[in-house]
Amino acid sequence: MKLNKEWHLKNPMPKNPTFEQRVKWHLAHQQNCLCRPIPAKLAAEMKQKGLKLK
């Protein structure tokens, strides 16, 4: 897994993020860094709400 340190430094996860903020951050993360996948719990919640995983 490849870490994009520069992206992580410029795009920290907000403190106490809402569901929408978590989704937005993880989708951007998925496009810019390969260090880890979207957490399974969040992915399941996204799928349940009809949101597509890219």
pLDDT of residue 23: 96
In this structure, which amino acid lies at residue 13? Answer: M
Is 2 a domain residue? no
Is 25 a domain residue? yes
Q: What is the Cα 25 distance to its own chain's centre?
A: 4
Domains identified in the chain, total number: 1
Enclosing domain of residue 44 = 18-54
Is 12 a domain residue? no
Is 35 a domain residue? yes
Q: pTM of the entire structure?
A: 0.88
Q: Is the pLDDT of residue 54 over 80?
A: no
Is 9 a domain residue? no
pLDDT of residue 34: 87
Neighbours of 17 (CB within 10 A): 13
pLDDT of residue 1: 65
Is 31 a domain residue? yes
As given in the structure block, the two tokens for residue 11 are 């795009």
What's the pLDDT tens digit per position in 1-53?
689 999 999 999 999 999 999 999 999 999 999 899 999 999 999 999 999 87
